[in-house]
Amino acid sequence: MKTAQVVNPFLDKYLAFNGDDVIDDTDQLPLGESPHSETSIQVDFNAYNITSGSLVSATNIPMTYQANTGFWLIDIAEIPDFSSVDRQKFVAKVSKASGETIDMRTFKVHEFSIDTDGFEDALMRLGYQIEISEGEAWMRWYDGEVAKWEAPLYKNGTGTDPATELSNISHRGPIVSTALLS
């Protein structure tokens, strides 16, 4: 991975693909250019994490064409698992989603990496809230109105007793992506 593309899911908004690689499977011409001039395609994004050996998939997500640059874009927020990894390498393939009427040819995404510039640093850029109710205590990090990460809060230093008020929080448990919990 000497020159792989580096993506930071906390700072970058899109994955970008060369429009010349997104072609019609029947006539082999680029879909964003004449005679096709498509501007949006529903796709399945399937990535393989070559660091951990796990799969990351997002199905039926929009990929939009930017005519002024000639690139197709997928919003990184459509791939929630990317915000839960750091310093991992991937390869991927993009194919048309089931039910998509545009005849897009499947294409591969060469090796790229996810690097959050330090997970804790990225979390510090997000708004957070401490929530204590009904015998549970949580610290939740928000991106806008949506909780993206959460960690249980404890008292007494045991990791078993949930904190009951702000003054008795002694430490937090592991931080987990809320996307992984749903």
Q: What is the largest CA-CA distance in the chain?
A: 68
Number of domains in the chain: 2
- Claim to verify: residue 112 and residue 136 sit in the same structural domain: no
Strands 107-114 and 5-7: parallel
Query: Is residue 36 over pLDDT 90?
Result: no
Which residue, of 117, 150, 166, is where some domain finishes? 117
- Claim to verify: residue 73 and residue 142 sit in the same structural domain: no
Residue 74, helix vs strand vs coil: strand
Report which DSSP code applies to 84: G
- Claim to verify: residue 44 and residue 77 sit in the same structural domain: yes
Residue 36's alpha-carbon distances to 24, 39, 150, in angstroms, are 8, 9, 45
pTM above 0.85, yes or no: no
- Claim to verify: residue 23 and residue 90 sit in the same structural domain: yes
Distance CA 1, CA 125 (A): 28
pLDDT score of 72: 95
Which pair of tokens denotes residue 148?
A: 């993206």
Which residue, of 91, 117, 143, is where some domain finishes? 117
Residue range 60-94, pLDDT digits in tens = 999 999 999 999 999 988 987 776 677 788 999 99
Query: Is residue 28 over pLDDT 60?
Result: yes
Residue 76 sits at φ, ψ, to 5 deg, of -60, -30
- Claim to verify: residue 103 and residue 16 sit in the same structural domain: yes
- Claim to verify: residue 9 and residue 89 sit in the same structural domain: yes
- Claim to verify: residue 157 and residue 105 sit in the same structural domain: no
- Claim to verify: residue 108 and residue 21 sit in the same structural domain: yes
**Tokens 């005679």 belong to which residue?**
35
Domain that includes residue 140, residue range: 126-181
Residue range 91-110, pLDDT digits in tens = 999 999 999 999 999 999 98
Q: How confident is the model at residue 181 (pLDDT cuts 50, 70, 90)?
A: low
Nearest to 94 by CA among 68, 50, 56, 66: 56
What sections of 20-147 are H helices per DSSP?
119-124
Query: Is residue 160 over pLDDT 90?
Result: no
pLDDT score of 148: 83
pLDDT score of 12: 82
Strand (E) or helix (H) holding 89? strand 88-96
Residue range 105-159, pLDDT digits in tens = 999 998 888 887 777 777 777 889 999 998 899 999 988 888 888 999 999 888 8
Task: Quote the mean pLDDT of the chain.
Answer: 87
Strand (E) or helix (H) holding 127? strand 127-133
- Claim to verify: residue 150 and residue 101 sit in the same structural domain: no
